[in-house]
Amino acid sequence: MSKIVIDAREYTTSTGRYMFRLVQYLEKLDDQHDYVLLLKPGDMDAYRLSNPRFTKVACPHKEFTFFGEQVAFRRQLHGLKPDLVHFGKDHQPVLYKGRVVTTMHDLTTARFRNPDKPWAIFKFKQLVYKRMVKRVARKSDAILTGSRFVKEDLVGFTGVNPDKITVTHEAADPIKEAAEAIPPLESRKFIMYVGRPTPHKNLERLIKAFGQVKAQYPDLVLVLAGKQDANYRRIEKSVQKQNIKGVVFLGFVSEARLRWLYEHCEAYVFPSLSEGFGLPGLEAMLQGAPVVSSNATCLPEVYGAAAHYFDPLDVKAMADAINEVLTDSSLRAGLIEAGRRQAGQYSWQRLAEQTLEVYNRTLGSS
Residues 269 and 326 in one domain: yes
Residue 359 lies in a domain: yes
Contacts 24+ apart (CB under 8 A), 145-149: 145/103, 145/104, 145/105, 145/276, 146/105, 146/106, 146/170, 146/276, 146/277, 146/298, 147/276, 147/277, 147/298, 147/301, 147/302, 148/298, 148/301, 149/276, 149/297, 149/298, 149/301
Residues 267 and 322 grouped into a single domain: yes
158 and 129 assigned to the same domain: yes
Express each pLDDT in 92-103 by its tens digit: 998 899 999 999
Domain check: are 257 and 289 in the same one? yes
Burial class (CB in 10 A: 0-12, 13-18, 19+), 42: exposed
Q: Are residues 333 and 227 in the same domain?
A: yes
User: Which pLDDT score is estimated for 14?
Assistant: 62
The answer to whether position 330 is within a domain reads: yes
Q: How many domains does the chain have?
A: 2
Whether 178 is covered by a domain: the verdict is: no
Judgement on whether residues 90 and 206 belong to the same structural domain of the protein:
no
Q: What is the pLDDT of residue 116?
A: 66
pLDDT in tens, 12-61: 666 688 999 999 999 999 999 999 999 999 999 888 899 999 999 999 98
Predicted pLDDT at 220: 98
What DSSP string runs through 143-162? EEESSHHHHHHHHHHH---G
* Structural domain that includes position 276: 183-344
Task: Report residue 127's pLDDT band, with 50, 70 and 90 as the boundaries.
Answer: confident
Same domain, 33 and 148: yes
Question: Is 352 found in the same domain as 318?
Answer: no
- Taking alpha carbons only, the member of 63, 254, 116 closest to residue 177 is 254
- Give residue 346's Cα distance to chain centre: 15
- Tell me, yes or no, whether 216 and 330 share the same domain: yes
- The mean pLDDT value for 91-120 works out to 86
Q: Is 201 exposed, middle or buried (0-12, 13-18, 19+ CB in 10 A)?
A: buried
Residues 134 and 113 in one domain: yes
- Tell me, yes or no, whether 199 and 274 share the same domain: yes
Residue 176 lies in a domain: no
Mean pLDDT of the chain: 93
With a pLDDT cut of 90, the percent of the chain lying above it is 81
In a domain, 221, yes or no: yes
Tell me, yes or no, whether 177 lies in a domain. no
pLDDT in tens, 219-245: 999 999 999 888 899 999 999 988 889
The whole-number pLDDT of residue 12 equals 66
CATH code at position 155: 3.40.50.2000
**pLDDT reading at 366 higher than 80:** no
The reported pTM is: 0.93
pLDDT tens, residue by residue, 303-333: 999 999 999 999 999 999 999 999 999 999 9
Q: What is the pLDDT of residues 156-175, one digit of tens each?
A: 999 999 999 999 999 999 99
| 237 and 135 in a common domain | no
Does position 119 have pLDDT exceeding 80, yes or no?
Answer: no
